[in-house]
Amino acid sequence: MTDVLNIGLSVLILGLAVWTIVAREAYAAVVGFIAYGLLLTLVWVQLQGIDVALTEAAIGGGLTGALLIGAAARLRGTETAARAERPRSASRCLAAGVSCAVAVALAICVLALPEPAPTLAPEVLANMAVTEVGNPITAVLLAFRAMDTLLEAIVLLFALIGVWSLAPDRAWGGRPGLLQAAGPNGMLAFAARALAPIGVVTGMYIFWIGADHPGGKFQGATILAAMWLLVMMAGLADAPPISRSWLRGLLVAGPLAFIGIGAVGAVQAGAFLAYPEGFAKPLILVIEFALMPSLTLILGLMLLGAPQRGKAP
């Protein structure tokens, strides 16, 4: 039964991947990609990665899909011109040969993986008690490989700065995205009013439960960011101008708190990002609470894109 499910999932995923590549309209391709992301979520469940499944559903399918849908709608007029640039059939055959070679080489590697597979699972479980965290993935993210998570938060911040720096000069410091003029009594406004409170509670729950069960700050922050975006799309709130100092303060607060705790570890526990004995769990909680608002704002603002409207009115 499980085999049938897995084979069916593989076939659907391959079909949707092909559709994403060959679909004529970019919009249709993006819709295929979103369905592909959601099916991939089921694959992660089959592969026993519930935390990864949550991240894939929230970010891989959800936020990336919303971002690409917006771009596809704006760039619709450019597709005809691009079609004229399609490479000749000779180079397409060459491309097909290259991609087949890549796929075959990877498949051979998959079949030749060593047996028994190397694993760090016993070491993680043996050392997890020190961190007092119940979810092994959270222990890896915030204790054993905390440096990765710190750098990831900084990468997100830098990417947002990169997006903002693409603003035209007249819009610098202004509000990102276009003004939404949905009717205050429309269906979208109703959905935003009814759904946002539920979504916020769900996001906070997934954030809080992450210490002991699948979940965590990235998944929770994505849900909160999605609710924020929904409220903005319904016209119930406007995006803040990017020159606001409270906004900028919140954006850097998470990574700065993380670096600060890391520096304390360098003095108190002998290594950057090491936690003093007995303080691991409280420090992990402080980092998570500091990162949460930063991540929510960064993810939401990244989806809104570069500032479009000047500071004036």
Partner 1 sequence: MNAGTLFGLCAAVVIGVGVFGLIVNPHPLRKILAFNVVGSGVFLLFGAIAYRGAGAGLGGDPVPQALLITGIVVAFSATALAVALLLRLFDETGSVTLSSDAPARTGHDTDAH
For partner 1, the closer of residues 43 and 269 by Cβ is 43
Segment 111-140, which members bind partner 1 (CB under 8 A)? Answer: 111, 113, 117-122, 124-125, 136-137, 139-140
Residue 294 lies near partner 1 (rule: CB under 8 A):
no
What gap in Å lies between CA 124 and CA 181, rounded to an integer? 51
Is residue 231 part of the contact set for partner 1 (CB under 8 A)? no
Size of the site for partner 1 (CB under 8 A): 95
* Least distance in angstroms from the C-beta of 160 to partner 1: 8
Cβ-based neighbours of 49, under 8 Å, separated by 6 or more: none
DSSP string, 161-216: HHHHTTS-GGGTTSEESPPP---TTSHHHHHHHHHHHHHHHHHHHHHHHTTTSS--
Cβ closest to partner 1, residue 124 vs residue 237: 124
Using the contact rule CB under 8 A, the part of the chain among 154-162, 229-237, 252-260, 268-276 near partner 1 is 154-162
State the CB neighbour count (10 A cutoff) for residue 164. 18
CA-based nearest residue to 273, from 260, 255, 286: 260
Smallest gap, in angstroms, from Cβ of residue 299 to partner 1?
Answer: 8
Nearest to 258 by CA among 126, 105, 186, 153: 153
> Of 164 and 189, which has the nearer Cβ to partner 1?
164
Check residue 110 for interaction with partner 1 (CB under 8 A).
yes
Site string for partner 1, 160-189 (x = CB under 8 A): x-xx--x-x---------------------
CA dist., res. 174 & res. 310, Å (int) = 5
| Among 52, 75, 69, residue whose Cα is nearest residue 303 | 69
Which one of residues 31, 35, 72, 189 is an interface residue with partner 1 (CB under 8 A)?
Answer: 72
Q: Position 84: which residue type?
A: A
In the complex, the smallest distance separating the C-beta of residue 260 from partner 1, rounded to whole angstroms, is 21
Estimate the crossing angle of helix 26-46 against helix 64-74, to 10 degrees.
170
Partners of 309 in the beta sheet?
175
Binding-site string for partner 1 from residue 208 to residue 227, where x marks contact by CB under 8 A and - marks none: --------x-x---------
CB of 67 vs partner 1, minimal distance in Å: 6
From 86-94, 191-199, 248-256, 275-283, span contacting partner 1 (CB under 8 A)? 86-94
Which position among 64, 247, 272, 286 is part of the footprint of partner 1 (CB under 8 A)?
A: 64
Applying CB under 8 A, does 44 fall inside the site for partner 1?
Answer: yes
The span from the CA of 46 to the CA of 2, in Å, is 9
The answer to the question of residue 34 lying near partner 1 (CB under 8 A) is no
Token code pair at residue 113: 């993986």
